[in-house]
């Protein structure tokens, strides 16, 4: 065979470029066989540059619906109890059922509606009722007093909030601190006001300030505030225990959190076992021994680096079991073994008596769970538990082992959600004294996971305890299982295995050519030759590099091999999964068409994060500098905090980060300009804390570039989820960050001065390159930190999806492809090869596809295919030629030879590839999720069945509700929205305010003011200054909303028809049906636009009602037959006059005519309804905001138009699915 077929793949987060070439093994020339380009939507949602998970957004909305549902259930249950005990007007079970199932509130129960309403004039206020119930014993023989008590209790159920769980780690520590501080502040305010209970305090606020103070704008505690008030009311009113218990359950019952254990990945060694929690004591020991066994030391008595001896290991063991330090620096180990200032990293220039193979700043993980248990039960904590544990017997009556009892205690700590329950367990089951029981109840565990299971850890630990390093211990770990416990328990046989394999493993040299095979193969051969093992037993041998791989590809019914599903426990990234599924579709179709087979060589490009040696060195140097700086900050914090407060402090990593930000900001809050003292951001209840410049809720990250120290109150009450550029005092902020701008501008000049030339030695050149990389790292830090303050919107790609996402995709794409493309007789001989992204860029430049210093253009989707062709043509021979070419080029720069020439894959390569733009069909794969329905297995008494969901897929409407008003002269209602007064930017914006009197008051207050003065005036606008009535929100007209969707009826019906519905704006249209007919010899068209909400309704009904034959009628209202249906993503081929103009045999003609539908809408013009169709050229890759939308029909002689908008009457096109078909390879076939 003289030719090798090669498939080149350029995988991306939303793209897949592919190319097939044949390489002549004799001449080394390539021939392009086929190529293509597929664009698909990412596995995440991106709006205005803000990226979010589609699943998380759906989950948030579902969680909110569930929250409303749970609150409704709670109120129903409370009303059921109140009705039964005659504490409220009777509400029937039928009314409660309708409210529960159909959300129909009992508005027809007039007595109940009067009871639950408030009326200040009549003294009907729930806070007043709560105040009365707390201080006055009501006469419960009177229905009036019983109803007052019931209303107070019902109000508690409406407000009682959520009880935090000790296991809940979903909240950020910042948020937890804010809540706790708010609760403490409220309790203090209550105490200062002389109020014991919350109801008292809020009633006092209301009676003294009315509506001027927001009562609900407070953080409250469930037990400390609400439960305490409930108990007090019950005690004052002397309620019967049975009633108290029923009310307590109805008001305060809370469903336990759903376990997330099912989402834990599987072990790499034991695929059926879940990964171990990283807080398990056995895993902590495993982690500790892995680290200790890897430490090497060289003293003045040693010639070379050696592992720690038994005595040294024992000396440092206690460092891992400190309650105060879950993590520590390696320097503490070095200091303990070598003595003060007598140790160093073995690569340091300064030589000391004790050298180590770890840097002094290396972070070391301790054993925090075990440390806390040792603090309570003693150093031999497992024995201490066994001596006091009351549940030491199993169900069968046998006694648990010490390890099993210790495991029980860890499970209690890991699973108990209440501190009180944990305390009671410690007292009753562990017989601990009060102080130790309190310590036990305060133990907090991390909730991360290891990469291996507890079962695998138990197998590896015995060998780690022998002092083996991790890679060796893993090789030995499963041998007892392979040979059988009978053999392993035999002392002589076990000793024989250990002796032979130890010599083999410890002395194995992969470079020794006399040894055939890998270490794994050598161990397997030893076991097979010495022991009678069942078939396949040696395949269970562990190996340190084991990863989750894909099973071999299987053939379809026609005998063609096909890739299976890419789903694996190793990937939970929706972006990666989407890309791998699209890769699978393309490769499988190429296989079915016979264009490639199992023997095809596959080249896949990796992401561009792979650094060269100089850059890696620069990064390591930079990290070393930061480690030294952090150690200095650690010492500075201790000194400065002592000087300012007179108190000692043990700085945490978070404290060091705050201190670094403090230094960067020169001790000033960038938002408020306030000076910051060290005690203002360290210690208890800090006034300043870390904030994210670009909030995480809108796409910001958690890098240090996105963090500053900020006034907590400003961050919470003013900045909220805004960008700095959106703040009213933005102009005041800019001067405070000017120093950052000057810093990175100076660094830019310094980088420019780092110039190399051909006359330099390699060492000198490398030194300058490394310096340039170090300066670039620092420059990028300050530039990115500054740009986060100046950006007006979050740009697309801000969260680095084009970096991390592609790397992950490429990595698993390689593993996935290897399941099919390998030697049929030996899977280990793979035909899949990885090409570095930087290498692809170099070859593009050498082959004339890109200029030397030109930035790669991403405005046209064709660049994915260009990369795929380049990748396909990069083989071993090309790598060798590249090395030779660079050598000759350097010689040319020194004047030692002529300018070298780099051979192209074929003579016309550059012209052919650059000419692809005129003939490449870029296919857009757009999923239609609306008709899909979720399926899941459900268990019933009759067995296991598949249940099909009946819910909508997609957003049906926008979230905002609009009000409707209608003045005397209006023929149609106008739609309004309440807005914060602070949201207005200029006087001209005030004209949309509905109320004339309010509008004039505001205009009078801001007359002649603009900018900052305008904003300040808006903050102090009064409707009645004498009564201190401020204007904070106003109703405004929304001119853009003219035909909203009415989604459901209001609970309380208005006397006006137009006010009886909830009005929302449409969030998108699902499809447009085009109808075409002839009237008096002229072609006429109608259209039908189907909104998302209408489509969802159709697909929901259609599951049970087959009478709905189609989502759109077959004929229009004028009797015109259906011509075609357009959806977002539909491909169309445009023509000027007739469809015969399109030449399906000419790819150049098809390329210039192919567009895709990107928008569907409608409008009324001159009392006529028109459909609007927005089209985008299939190769166009720019964002919509950068495209000029042109109107008018397609012309054969048109210049390039990236985007076109047409009336439905102007559309002259063949439509995908009706007039032609297009597959994912870009092959178009006519159906006419």
Residue 274 and residue 417 in one domain: yes
Q: What pLDDT, on a 0 to 100 scale, did the predictor assign at position 894?
A: 46
Of residues 548 and 221, more confidently modeled:
221
Provide the pLDDT for residue 1038. 93
User: How far is CA 225 from its chain centroid?
Assistant: 35
DSSP element (H, E) containing 1206? strand 1203-1207
Distances (CA, A) of 378 to 382, 385, 768: 9, 9, 57
> Does residue 133 fall inside a structural domain?
yes
- pLDDT reported for residue 811: 63
Tell me, yes or no, whether 530 and 582 share the same domain.
no
Residues 676 and 567 in one domain: no
Q: Are residues 585 and 522 in the same domain?
A: no
At 938 the pLDDT is 82
* Domain end residue (candidates: 790, 813, 840): 790
506 to 309, 491, 525, 539: CA distances (angstroms): 17, 22, 17, 21
What is the pLDDT confidence band of residue 791, given thresholds at 50, 70 and 90? confident
Domain annotation covers residue 639: no
Q: What is the DSSP letter of 856?
A: P
What sections of 339-380 are H helices per DSSP?
368-377
* Partners of 943 in beta bridges: 940
As to burial, measured by CB atoms within 10 angstroms (0-12 exposed, 13-18 middle, 19+ buried), residue 886 is middle
Within a 13 Å sphere around the CA of 1170, how many CA atoms are in the beta-carbon half? 16
* DSSP symbol at 1030: E
Between 329 and 1154, residue with greater pLDDT: 1154
3-state secondary structure labels for all residues of 1071-1125: EEEEEEEEECCEEEEEEEEEEHHHHHHHHHHHCCCCCCCCCCCCECCCCCEEEEE
Whether 462 maps to a domain, the answer reads no
- Which structural domain range is residue 775 located in? 652-790
The answer on 1099 and 1215 residing in a single domain is: yes
Q: What is the pLDDT of residue 758?
A: 47
Query: In whole angstroms, how far apart are CA 697 and each of 56, 486, 725, 784, 980?
Result: 12, 58, 16, 19, 21
Mean pLDDT within 1069-1082: 92
Banded pLDDT at 762 (limits 50, 70, 90) = low
List, for residues 1151-1198, the tens digit of each pLDDT value. 999 999 999 999 888 888 999 999 999 999 988 888 888 998 999 888
- The pLDDT, as a whole number, for residue 1110 is 79
User: Does 798 score more than 50 pLDDT?
Assistant: no
Structure confidence by residue, pLDDT tens digits, 1029-1038: 888 899 999 9
Decide which of 1107 and 845 is more confident: 845
Residues 429 and 504 in one domain: no
pLDDT tens-digit readout, 934-981: 788 888 888 888 887 777 777 888 889 999 999 888 888 999 999 999
Nearest to 166 by CA among 373, 410, 419: 419
Is the same domain home to 1054 and 1075?
no
| CB neighbour class for 1226 (10 Å; exposed up to 12, middle 13-18, buried from 19) | buried
- Nearest-angstrom CA–CA distance, 243 and 1016: 54
- A 10 A CB-CB count for 251 gives 21
Please check whether residue 5 is in contact with residue 600, taking contact to mean a CB–CB distance below 8 angstroms: yes
So what's the pLDDT on residue 607? Answer: 46
* Sign, Cα dihedral of 984, 986, 987, 990: negative
Please say if the pLDDT value at position 80 is more than 90: yes
Domain membership flag for residue 947? no
Q: pLDDT per residue over 555-594, tens digit each?
A: 999 999 999 988 876 666 677 788 889 999 999 999 999 9
The reported pTM is 0.73
Question: Residue 662: which residues within 8 A CB-CB, separation 6 or more?
Answer: 676, 678, 681, 709
Q: Tell me, what DSSP letter sits at residue 797?
A: T
pLDDT of 759 strictly over 70: no
> What does residue 54 show for φ and ψ, rounded to 5 degrees?
-65, -40
State both tokens at 148: 């007052």
Q: Is the pLDDT of residue 59 over 60?
A: yes
Task: Please indicate, yes or no, if residue 633 is contained in any of the structural domains.
Answer: no
What average pLDDT does the segment 984-989 reach?
88
DSSP-derived letter for residue 610 is: -
The predicted structure's pLDDT at residue 39:
93
Domain check: are 105 and 180 in the same one?
A: yes
Tens of pLDDT, residues 1105-1117 = 454 567 899 999 8
Q: Which pLDDT value is given to residue 596? A: 95
Higher pLDDT, 613 or 179: 179
Pairing of strands 1168-1177, 1203-1207: antiparallel
Domain tally, the chain = 7
The pLDDT value given to residue 1075: 96
Question: Within 13 Å of residue 370, how many CA atoms lie on the same side as its CB?
Answer: 21
| C-alpha distance from residue 659 to each of 5, 71, 634 (Å) | 59, 43, 9
Our separate counts of H helices and E strands in the chain read 39, 40
Residues 496 and 596 in one domain: no
Rg of the chain taking only CA atoms, in angstroms: 36
852 and 745 in one domain?
no
pLDDT in tens, 824-839: 887 778 899 888 776 7
Residues 435-449 have pLDDT tens digits of 999 999 989 888 788
- Per-position DSSP letters for 687-721, written without gaps between them: SEEEEESS-GGGT---SGGGEEEEEHHHIIIIITT
Q: Would 459 be classed as within a structural domain? A: no
- Of 252, 278, 306, the position where a domain reaches its end is 252
Is the per-residue pLDDT at 534 higher than 80? yes
Contacts of 849 (CB under 8 A, 6+ apart): 866, 870, 910, 913, 914
Could you tell me which residues are beta bridge partners of residue 1206?
1173
User: Who has greater pLDDT, 907 or 948?
Assistant: 907
- The DSSP line for 17-31 is EEEEEEEETTT--EE
- Cα–Cα distances (Å) from 317 to 289, 321, 385, 631, in that order, read 10, 8, 21, 23
Query: Does 748 reside within a domain?
Result: yes
Last residue in a domain, options 901, 920, 939: 920
Tell me: the pLDDT tens digits for 869-905?
A: 999 999 888 877 876 776 576 456 446 678 778 889 9
238 in a structural domain: yes
pLDDT at position 1058 over 80: yes
Residue 577 maps to which CATH number?
3.30.420.10
Instruction: Identify any residues that bridge with 52 across adjacent strands, giving them in sequence order.
Output: 45
Same domain (yes/no): 534, 556: no
pLDDT in tens, 623-664: 888 888 999 999 999 999 999 888 888 888 888 989 999 999
User: For residue 372, what pLDDT is reported?
Assistant: 94
Residues 280 and 425 in one domain: yes
Element at 193 (helix H, strand E): none
């Amino acid at each position: 065979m003289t030719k090798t077929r090669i498939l080149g793949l350029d995988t991306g987060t939303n793209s897949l470029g592919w190319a097939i070439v044949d390489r002549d093994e004799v001449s080394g020339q390539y021939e392009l066989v086929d190529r293509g380009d597929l664009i698909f939507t990412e596995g995440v949602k991106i709006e205005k540059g803000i990226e979010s998970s589609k699943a998380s957004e759906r989950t948030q909305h579902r969680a909110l619906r569930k929250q409303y549902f749970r609150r409704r259930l709670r109120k129903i249950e409370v009303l059921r109890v109140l009705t039964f005990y005659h504490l409220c007007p009777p509400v029937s079970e039928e009314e409660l059922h309708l409210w529960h199932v159909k959300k129909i509130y009992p508005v027809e129960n007039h007595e109940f509606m009067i009871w639950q309403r408030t009326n200040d004039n009549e003294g009907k206020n729930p806070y007043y009722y709560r105040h009365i119930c707390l201080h006055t014993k009501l006469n419960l023989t009177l229905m009036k007093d019983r109803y007052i008590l019931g209303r107070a209790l019902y109000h508690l159920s409406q407000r009682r909030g959520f009880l935090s769980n000790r296991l809940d780690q979903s909240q950020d520590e910042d948020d937890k601190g804010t809540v706790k501080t708010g609760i403490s502040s409220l309790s203090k305010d209550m105490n200062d006001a002389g109020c014991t209970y919350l109801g008292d305090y809020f009633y006092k606020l209301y009676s003294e300030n009315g509506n001027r103070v927001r009562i609900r704008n407070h953080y409250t505690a469930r037990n400390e505030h609400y439960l305490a008030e409930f108990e007090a009311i019950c005690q004052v009113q002397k309620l019967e225990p049975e009633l108290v218990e029923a009310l307590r359950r109805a008001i305060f019952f809370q469903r336990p959190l759903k376990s997330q254990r099912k989402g834990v990945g599987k072990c790499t060694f034991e695929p059926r076992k879940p990964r171990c929690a990283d807080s398990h004591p056995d895993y902590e020991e495993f982690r500790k021994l892995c680290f200790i066994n890897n430490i090497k030391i060289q003293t003045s008595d040693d010639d070379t680096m050696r592992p720690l001896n038994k005595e040294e290991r024992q000396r440092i063991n206690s460092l891992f079991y400190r309650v105060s330090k879950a993590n520590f620096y390696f320097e503490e180990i070095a200091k303990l073994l070598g003595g003060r200032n007598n140790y160093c990293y073995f690569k340091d220039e300064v030589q000391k008596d004790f050298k180590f193979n770890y840097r002094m700043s290396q972070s070391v993980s301790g054993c925090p769970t075990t440390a806390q248990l040792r603090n309570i039960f003693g150093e031999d904590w497992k024995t201490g538990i066994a001596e006091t544990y009351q549940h030491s017997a199993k169900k069968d009556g046998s006694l648990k082992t010490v390890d099993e009892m210790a495991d029980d205690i860890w499970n209690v700590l890991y699973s108990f959600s209440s501190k009180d329950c944990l305390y009671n367990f410690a007292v009753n089951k562990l017989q601990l004294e009060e102080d130790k029981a309190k310590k036990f109840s305060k133990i907090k565990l991390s909730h991360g996971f290891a990469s291996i299971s507890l079962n695998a850890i138990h197998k590896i630990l015995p060998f780690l305890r022998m002092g083996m390093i991790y890679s060796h211990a893993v090789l030995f770990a499963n041998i007892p299982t392979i040979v059988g416990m009978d053999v392993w328990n035999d002392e002589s046989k076990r000793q024989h295995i250990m002796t032979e394999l130890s010599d083999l493993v410890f002395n194995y040299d992969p470079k020794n050519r006399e040894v055939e095979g890998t270490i794994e193969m050598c161990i397997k051969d030893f076991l097979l030759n010495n022991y009678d093992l069942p078939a396949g037993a040696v395949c269970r041998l562990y190996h340190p590099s084991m990863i989750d791989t894909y099973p071999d590809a299987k053939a379809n019914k026609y005998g063609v091999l096909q890739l299976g599903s890419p789903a694996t426990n190793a990937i939970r990234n929706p972006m990666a999964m989407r890309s791998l599924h699209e890769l699978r579709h393309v490769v499988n179709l190429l296989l079915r068409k016979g264009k490639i087979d199992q023997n095809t060589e596959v080249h896949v490009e990796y992401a561009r994060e792979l650094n060269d040696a100089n850059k890696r060195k620069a990064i390591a140097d930079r990290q070393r500098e930061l480690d030294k700086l952090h150690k200095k900050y650690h010492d500075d914090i201790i000194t400065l905090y002592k000087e300012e407060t007179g108190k000692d402090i043990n700085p945490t990593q978070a404290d060091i980060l705050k201190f670094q930000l403090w230094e960067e900001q020169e001790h000033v809050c960038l938002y408020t300009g306030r000076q910051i003292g060290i005690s203002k951001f360290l210690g208890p209840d800090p006034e300043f804390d870390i904030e994210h410049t670009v909030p995480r809720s809108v796409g910001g990250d958690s890098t240090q570039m996105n963090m500053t120290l900020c006034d907590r109150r400003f961050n919470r009450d003013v900045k909220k989820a805004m960008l700095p550029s959106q703040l009213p005092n933005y102009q005041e902020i800019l001067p405070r960050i000017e120093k950052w701008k000057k810093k990175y501008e100076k660094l830019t000049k310094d980088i420019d001065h780092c110039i190399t030339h051909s006359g330099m030695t390699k060492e000198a050149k490398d030194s300058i390159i490394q310096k340039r990389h170090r300066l670039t790292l620092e420059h990028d830090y300050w530039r990115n930190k500054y740009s986060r303050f100046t950006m007006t919107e979050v740009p697309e790609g801000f969260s680095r999806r084009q970096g991390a996402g592609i790397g992950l995709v490429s990595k698993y794409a390689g593993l996935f492809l290897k399941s099919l493309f390998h030697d049929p007789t030996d899977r280990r001989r793979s035909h899949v090869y990885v090409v570095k992204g930087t290498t692809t860029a170099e070859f593009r430049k050498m082959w004339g596809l890109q200029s030397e210093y030109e930035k790669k253009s991403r405005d046209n989707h064709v660049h994915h295919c260009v990369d795929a062709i380049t990748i396909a043509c990069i083989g071993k021979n090309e790598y060798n030629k590249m090395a030779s070419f660079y050598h000759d080029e350097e010689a040319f720069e020194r004047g030692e030879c002529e300018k070298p020439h780099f051979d192209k894959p074929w003579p016309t390569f550059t012209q052919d590839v650059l000419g692809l733009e005129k003939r490449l069909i870029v296919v857009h794969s757009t999923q239609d999720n609306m008709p899909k329905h979720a399926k899941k297995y459900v268990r019933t008494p009759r067995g296991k069945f598949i249940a099909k969901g009946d819910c909508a897929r997609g957003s049906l409407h926008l979230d905002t509700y609009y009000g409707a008003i209608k003045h005397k002269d209006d023929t149609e209602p106008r739609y309004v929205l309440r807005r914060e007064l602070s949201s207005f930017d200029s006087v001209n914006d005030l004209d949309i305010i509905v109320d004339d009197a309010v509008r004039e008051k505001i205009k009078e207050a801001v007359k002649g003011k603009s900018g900052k003065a305008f904003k300040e005036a808006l903050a102090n606008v009064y409707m009645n200054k004498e009564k201190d009535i401020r204007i904070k929100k106003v109703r405004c007209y929304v001119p853009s909303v003219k035909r909203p969707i009415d989604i459901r009826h209001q609970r309380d019906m208005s006397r006006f028809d137009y006010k009886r519905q909830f009005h929302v704006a449409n969030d998108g249209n699902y499809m447009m049906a085009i109808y075409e007919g002839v009237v008096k010899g002229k072609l006429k068209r109608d259209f039908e636009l189907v909104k998302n909400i209408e489509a969802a309704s159709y697909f929901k009904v259609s599951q049970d009602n087959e009478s709905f034959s189609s989502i759109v009628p077959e004929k229009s209202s004028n009797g015109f037959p259906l011509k075609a249906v357009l959806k977002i993503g539909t491909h169309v081929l445009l023509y000027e006059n007739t469809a015969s103009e399109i030449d399906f045999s000419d790819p150049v003609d098809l390329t210039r005519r192919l567009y895709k539908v990107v928008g569907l809408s409608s409008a009324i013009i001159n009392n006529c309804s028109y459909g609007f169709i927005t089209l985008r050229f299939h190769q166009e890759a720019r964002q919509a905001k950068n495209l000029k939308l042109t109107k008018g029909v397609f012309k054969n002689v048109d210049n390039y138009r990236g985007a076109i908008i047409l009336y439905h009457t102007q559309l002259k096109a063949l439509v995908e699915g009706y007039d032609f078909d297009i597959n994912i390879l870009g092959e178009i076939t006519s159906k006419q």
